[in-house]
Structure 1
Amino acid sequence: MIRSNILELLLAHRTDDQLENEMLQDTIRFIRQHPDCFERSLLVGHVTGSAWIVNKEGTHTLMLHHKKLDKWFQPGGHCDGDPNVMAVAAKEAFEETGIGVRPISNAVFDVDHHVIPERKGVPEHIHFDIRFFFEADKTTDELPSNPEANAVRWIPLEKVEEYNNTPSIMRLVKKCMQ
């Protein structure tokens, strides 16, 4: 079954965060109910993969200012049919930042889901975001421009809340500072 690998990873994921645990259970249910969960064409929602990237010292994370949503986020995107969500996250990280990454772990790092507003004829839907923890191959201040982002920047972990202080992002910061 095309969904078995991600379901195995999600079933092994443990969290003490009550909200994340609820989103984890929702995500598992969604994937079990929708064989086409990796397809963007599934208009109720779909699985996405994102990368929480830190530098080698573990002091900074790589974030981008998303043009459409006008907020700072970690790199990530649609699976577009690819069930290897970790590979999707790594590919999106490179496409959006120009930085290659290596997984710190092959396990799921975090699970989140969020509503994406209606836009250009695509109805409001849910992104079931599965996040993986990566280390950057290199750290450089010369980051490429990205048509989907206003900026790409290395941000000190202790300053991430100045860019995006949502519980979802702050949970990522907390996890990598433990």
Structure 2
Amino acid sequence: MQDPLITLLLAHQPSDATEAAHVANALNFVRTTASCGSRATLTGHVTASAWILSPDGKSALLTHHKKLNRWLQLGGHTEDDDDSIQAAAAREAREESGMTDLQLVSTALFDVDVHPIPARGSEPAHYHYDLRFLFQAQHVDFNVSEESHDLAWVALATLAAEDGNVSVARMARKSLGASGFADVVAVK
């Protein structure tokens, strides 16, 4: 898993100094941690997220995450049978939204964020080295999974102005500046 992640991280162009620090931190972690994607790595692990845009590209789908009690992009942990980090992001998006026809806009990273996860039960506090990919929905219908309190389409302009979640606002600003989806690729 390390080599493809290193390649993705080295190719990614951060949008600001904060994201550049996240990329450097994630790159260091991946290079020095053989089991970087395993939940058994208690200091932290690589996670995969899907930033899902509506069919018209004007809104993003967010989940009100049960464990963290916050509105976030869809995503989660990688699994051993994931073919790639992009496939992990697609699987998480399908599981959390019920949407089976999401289109991956690009296999390149869309965003990188490193953030602390608080201790919960027997799981100690740790970091998520979150690698995020841009998807586009083919319709707006979704199903709320047991991992979420709710899902909602939120206007990108609203998210871009949000002060409470810097990484979501950063992805919304990137989306507002994106030019079309010519490179949409299918992901299983």
User: Do the two structures share a fold, i.e. TM-score over 0.5?
Assistant: yes
Cα distance, 1:160 vs structure 2: 2.6
Query: What's the secondary structure of 2:86's corresponding residue?
Result: helix
CA RMSD of aligned residues (A): 1.6
1:145 counterpart = 2:147: no
d(CA) in 2 for partners of 1:164, 1:61: 17
Partner of 2:35: 36
Partner of 1:22: 21
TM-score (norm 1): 0.93
Query: What's the secondary structure of 2:42's corresponding residue?
Result: coil
Larger mean Cα displacement after TM superposition, 126-135 or 77-86: 77-86
Q: 1:121 to 1:21 in 2, by over 3 A?
A: same
d(CA) in 2 for partners of 1:45, 1:15: 21
d(CA) in 2 for partners of 1:157, 1:134: 14
Partner of 2:103: 102
Larger mean Cα displacement after TM superposition, 54-63 or 38-47: 54-63
**Count of residue correspondences:** 175
Contact 2:78/2:88 (8 A) holds in 1: yes
TM-score (norm 2): 0.88
Contact 1:6/1:83 (8 A) holds in 2: no
Q: Which runs of 5+ in 1 are unaligned?
A: none
Partner of 1:176: 175
Q: 1:62 to 1:20 in 2, by over 3 A?
A: same
Counterpart of 1:107, as a letter, is: A
After TM superposition, the structure 1 = structure 2 runs for residues 1-178 of structure 1, keeping only pairs within 5 Å, are: 2-81=1-80, 82=82, 84-100=84-100, 101-140=102-141, 143-160=142-159, 165-178=164-177
Cα distance, 1:159 vs structure 2: 2.4
d(CA) in 1 for partners of 2:163, 2:50: 16
Counterpart of 2:122, as a letter, is: G
d(CA) in 1 for partners of 2:83, 2:39: 12
Counterpart of 2:18, as a letter, is: L
Contact 1:71/1:164 (8 A) holds in 2: no
Cα distance, 1:5 vs structure 2: 1.1
Cα distance, 1:165 vs structure 2: 3.3
Counterpart of 2:4, as a letter, is: N
Cα offsets for 1:37-67 (capped at 9, x unmatched): 0100000000000000001210111111011
Counterpart of 1:38, as a letter, is: G
